[in-house]
Chain A
Amino acid sequence: MAYSDKVIDHYENPRNVGSLDKESSDVGTGVVGAPECGDVMKLQVQIEEGVIIDAKFKTFGCGSAIASSSLATEWLKGKTVEEATAIRNVDIVEELALPPVKIHCSVLAEDAIKQAISDYESKQNND
């Protein structure tokens, strides 16, 4: 399979790999996918006054899954929560030039963003 240059770049130089403290009240964590399906993405955001000040990911999956989550973290930083929830998987598909068989990777990334933000929001509501 031929990869786009952007996928290769994210695979070789992934942005924002790592973990934030998932217990912290200003951190939201999303874990999506399943090992049996060949992809698991963990995406975390740290939010201050409605703005994402940090984002990290760890991904088990193919190069396109790694690139999708890496790109997502890059996009998330500096965005408001509202802007972040507006990110669509098609934006990722377009940016990375993902072929049809890899579209599910972008869907996972979108799901991970949504889950991370809703995890953060539920923490706020519980406070």
Chain B
Amino acid sequence: MTTDVKQIYLDYQATTPVDERVLEAMLPYFSDKCGNAASRNHKFGWDAEKATQSARETIASGLNAKAREIAFTSGATESNNLAILGVAKMYAAKGKHLITCSTEHKAVLDPMAALQNEGYEVTVLDVDSNGHVDLNELRNAIREDTVLVSLMMANNEIGTIHPVKAIGDICHDNGVLFHTDATQAVGKELIDVQEMNIDLLSGSAHKMYGPKGVGFLYVRRRNPRVRLEPIFHGGGHERGIRSGTLNVPGIVGMAKAFDICLAERDEDHQRISALRDSLQTQLAAELTHLSINGDENNRLACSLNISFAFVEGESMLMGMSGIAVSSGSACTSASLEPSYVLRAMGVGDDLAHSSIRFSLGRFTTQQEVNRAAELTISTVKRLRDMSPLYEMALEGIDLATVSWGTH
């Protein structure tokens, strides 16, 4: 396919490019400052330790936490596993019940499923059409033997932001630990672990213009002091929670990335949400039968998930070549099922197959948005002209009443 045409990247929720300032901060730690942060008897080690300590402080202060409450990991998948498995195992004597919801990332749902196989009980809360859990349902789901509630801060497919403070308060009032997978929110949304009553929080560098393969887990040390059973056993790094030589350049990069996000947050937020709104407005002006997936009033600034009725996602991606976006259609992934997140929100499988996630970021320009809108519009129009479903809809046939053959 064409590679000479300039590619437009609108998949920032999948991952972000490393900011040049981040790369620059990291580079010395690959070579000149090559020390192992656990080496206690020479300058190389001390410098590495100092750099990771400073990174810990940066990250902690951005969350209103303490440096010693931050453990470095290989990314949010590991952080989620460590939080969920670590709490479940440590508190097994207290109880073996956990609560989560149906739209969580697989890095939460799969460790929960693994625990179920080991005899734990997991309540998976449903969500409404905007992707929100019912707080009363959450309250009612908490039992005597509940040890952990894990609910994400912002959803990776639809951008819906959960009312984390309200959730934290419920957990706190009921003496249950609260973990939030904040991978999509760190650096974008204001986070205060004290005010929000968060006990554990997962983050990942590569969603905030840092490198891939590094993340962190915030673990509350006071009121209450959260204890974790480690997954990795080894040198006892990270206060025994996570053994393994620290990824010093990665950690330095993550802290720098977070620092930049915090400093430029308002500006980024404003510009990116304006671009996102521009994209949405342009599409809505030219195309009928669109539906926005996610909570339009409480959504990440970067996120736009739309179902384009009567056209299938993969065929859209083919038409929009040169624009990097994601689709909720099964045809784009290894599984045969369309997005489980959209399904959980009650979006029909037909519209799930027709969904595209655009996600914008720091380096997105108005020209790119205009180009993406233009290509999306022409592709959808072209594909609708060859869609039997669009034809039927124009004829006034209600597709829901048609009896389709099976195949």
Q: A residues near B, CB below 8 A? A: 1, 3, 8, 11, 14, 17, 19, 31-42, 57-63, 65-66, 104, 107-108, 111
Contact = CB atoms under 8 A, between A and B. Distances in A.
Determine chain A's interface SS by DSSP, over half rule: mixed
Given A62-B312, A62-B315, A104-B407, A38 B386 contact: no
Interface stretch (B50-58, B289-297, B387-395): B387-395
28 contacts: A1-B314, A8-B1, A11-B319, A14-B386, A17-B385, A31-B388, A34-B407, A35-B348, A35-B353, A35-B399, A36-B404, A37-B349, A37-B407, A38-B329, A38-B350, A38-B353, A40-B388, A40-B404, A57-B386, A58-B391, A59-B387, A60-B311, A60-B388, A60-B389, A62-B329, A63-B318, A66-B386, A111-B407
Contacts of B404: 33-36, 40
Interface in B330-345: 330-332, 338
A44 to B, nearest CB: 10
Contacts of B349: 35-38
Interface of B: 1, 310-312, 314-315, 318-319, 329-332, 338, 348-350, 353, 385-391, 399, 404-407
Contacts of B338: 38
A111 B405 CA distance: 11
A38 B391 contact: no
A60 B385 contact: no
Contacts of A34: 404-407
B388 A42 contact: yes
Name the 10 nearest CB pairs between A and B, nearest first: A34-B404, A35-B350, A36-B349, A42-B388, A62-B314, A38-B353, A58-B388, A62-B331, A63-B318, A17-B386
A40 B386 CA distance: 11
Nearest to B1: A8
